[in-house]
Structure 1
């Protein structure tokens, strides 16, 4: 009997040991989920890296990513910013998700779309985005409403100041610290530090080298007098100083990429972190780009071909090149597949998982078509050919400059691709710009609603500071008949504090105004001067196309009661003792109850 009892005890102890091992194994599986870091540059062309053969600059850290990981030879994004970001976030063509513009609401991803961040968050990942969002500002279009626990940066399409600018952190306006790309990197490294013991999904959409062309002296001094060895195909079209500034900004990005990789090494996460590097469109100026036709805004090869580097030391063979075509729509299914998380979405994805190519699991790969669209122009690419938006056919493998139309020599291929384009247009483009979405105000899950001049409509004599709405302000507000309106839908009945960002010269102080929505209103008065001098040119390396900034002052107006429903939120003057009311930049509403 005693022996039997001892035997039973031993078996119980062994069972406990084995079950403990089982639990430990399951826990280990959870901790072994790879971290994800996506770094997206803004307006950096395929040719703006030394790994592409550009001898004008040196990008050693990004080059090392490619050497240690895999590089896609033919990877495609959209011709401009917000569509590419939408395609990465949803795994679907931007035309499906409601994105048709880069400003004034047309950059928003429809609320019935599932984002990659939502999929990873649901799987237990900590999620963060630091940088330029450009897919909706008002919650729930805001990044905090699309799966990101943390957001620091700006939601607009471009920003007017890169040195300690006004930014936001989870909806609350804050002041940045130092050069913006460096600041965003600091926030990303802090996030890595704070989440090193659990899987994280980190999105770093830099806003450089997008104009205005601002970059610290450390980077500019190397390039300001540099003789460029490699030039645009049409050298006369190239602005040399613009190119120099862009290359200086690209070297700064490379330095920051190096900082992120070093942080991963420091916290021992380098091996099990997937790092992705790409740009959002072609170069924002005529400069060397591998002889390809087109630049930003074009559906030709040079406007949409982007670098794509994927590094995962634990799984992906170093130094390999993938020749098959791929696109921004593929990143959602690919990263979810690599991480082993479910990504079933209510709507079918256009992208496919590139995991078999990355892990060399398959010798065959299905032939496919990738479509590129902007402003009604559509081109299509298969493994060998591109049909441009005019219906001309080019063998891209040996003619990246699209110089020889071979549609007469290859009539069957040309006809096949033309038919595919017409079918795609018929499915994607009808009613694309028929946007009836109001700006949401006061979502119950978020305290802040930011309504900038960019999203407003000026009436009367009021004009925008620049033809490009992003980061602009309203000026020439001189009449009681003038007003600014926003078409909104209040989602939560309640009281909201009202804050206005403005400038006004001392001689014009004293104007009173009101903000109204349906039957409710709150009045305010300009009591403090803020001289409206334009700023920004002192940091620009090249004269900008976009609006200059001002040092806008914050004015707390009061509290307005908003009832749930749709209508126009209207800002209008009540009294103008001087020559104008104010220059207006931003309205901030904060729910207080």
Structure 2
């Protein structure tokens, strides 16, 4: 059943792509846990825009990814187990996909789509492992697995270093919105991949969100399984970063509406692994780096007004590898 449902969501794009040309936007966040959404019951934060993807589309209850960054990204991009694609680590070359792998961007590109990636790549830094060698027409962001500073940082635009503008997640979103608008003006369908790099450390977030959380008292039922392990400042910063992500998701959804393409654009959202700290995660064992459920369970939310009935619930088990092949 799960494969039949995903077939209706993704494969129709490839099968009927030459006719329908539906657009696709995929958000992937970094170190955000299953419990870091108000949709999943966390009352310590509010994520209405992300939540709306599930409420207005489909929400997957048992969706699984890898315990760390690069393997999950490789499995999404190739639809294959990360080891089969050549990815076995997050550094020292172990993050690079084999060059004979076909990526989801390759498929969209061959179908005539404008393809763009905006954010943290983490599947190879130099060409031909670079996004521009893996099916993307346009890339803005950074290719390593970690960035040391999130404000006005040096970024890469299509192979050239440029000065970023403001907070990186806001910057990535603005760049993605510009790419989408340009594609619409050219009457060209688009596939946009937005792998945000937060709430991964360093724990930096704009004052607008930090001021909301810095003095926050956490609800007693929304604590880690062992509150003594909590790093309060790290936890509050992570929640603030998650709300910043939500705001940016809302910005992009609004842009799709303004451009008149929201009805026929698939928007998907999921995480690369479990939370990067000891915070509420529905009492699941494990966190980032662990193969226990808390380290590998992710939300998967998919909105497609022209193809998915609002409020659809999928309870069957699925994984990130299911997205491309089905």
- TM-score under structure 2 normalisation? 0.93
Rounded Cα–Cα distance in structure 2 between residues aligned with 1:64 and 1:120 = 26
Q: Structure 2: how far apart are the matches of 1:328 and 1:62?
A: 18
Q: Does 1:131 align with 2:111?
A: no
- In the TM superposition, 1:51-130 aligns within 5 A as 51-130=39-118
Question: Which residue pairs with 2:250 in the alignment?
Answer: 258
Structure with bigger helix share is: 2
Is 1:302 aligned to 2:294, yes or no? yes
Residue 103 (structure 1) shift: 1.1
SS of structure 1 residue aligned to 2:84: coil
- SS state of the match for residue 323, structure 1? strand
Look up the match of 2:147.
Answer: 159
Which of 276, 281, 286 is the aligned partner of 1:284?
276
**2:201 matches 1:211:** yes
Structure number with the bigger relative contact order (C-alpha 8 A, sep ≥ 6) is 2
Distance 2:151 2:263 in 1: 34
The Cα offsets for residues 529-553 of structure 1, whole Å up to 9 and x where unpaired, read as: xxxxxxxxxxxxxxxxxxxxxxxxx
Structure 2 counterpart of 1:202, from 162, 177, 192: 192
Deviations 1:549-581 (A, max 9, x none): xxxxxxxxxxxxxxxxxxxxxxxxxxxxxxxxx
Q: TM-score, structure 1 length as denominator?
A: 0.51
- 1:245 pairs with 2:241: no
Tell me how far apart the structure 2 counterparts of residues 142 and 222 of structure 1 sit (CA, whole Å). 38
Kept in 2: contact 1:34–1:274 (CA 8 A): yes
Counterpart in 2 of 1:173? 161
Q: Give the number of aligned pairs.
A: 307
Once the two structures are superposed, what CA deviation does each residue of 1:390-428 show, in whole Å capped at 9, x if it has no partner? xxxxxxxxxxxxxxxxxxxxxxxxxxxxxxxxxxxxxxx
Alignment-derived partner of residue 322 in structure 1: 314
1:30 is displaced (CA, Å) by 4.5
CA RMSD of aligned residues (A): 1.1
Higher strand fraction (1 or 2): 1
Q: Secondary structure at the match of 1:317?
A: coil
Aligned to 2:260: 268
The answer to whether the 8 A contact 2:61-2:313 is kept is yes
Residue 224 in structure 1 maps to residue 214 in structure 2: yes
Q: CA deviation at 1:128?
A: 0.3
Superposition deviation, residue 138 in structure 1: 0.7
Q: Which SS does the other structure have where 1:310 is aligned?
A: strand
The CA distance in 2 between the partners of 1:31 and 1:226, in whole Å, is 51
1:539-578 correspondence runs (5 A): none
Give the structure with higher Rg (CA): 1
Structure 1 residue ranges without an equivalent (≥5): 1-27, 334-352, 354-593
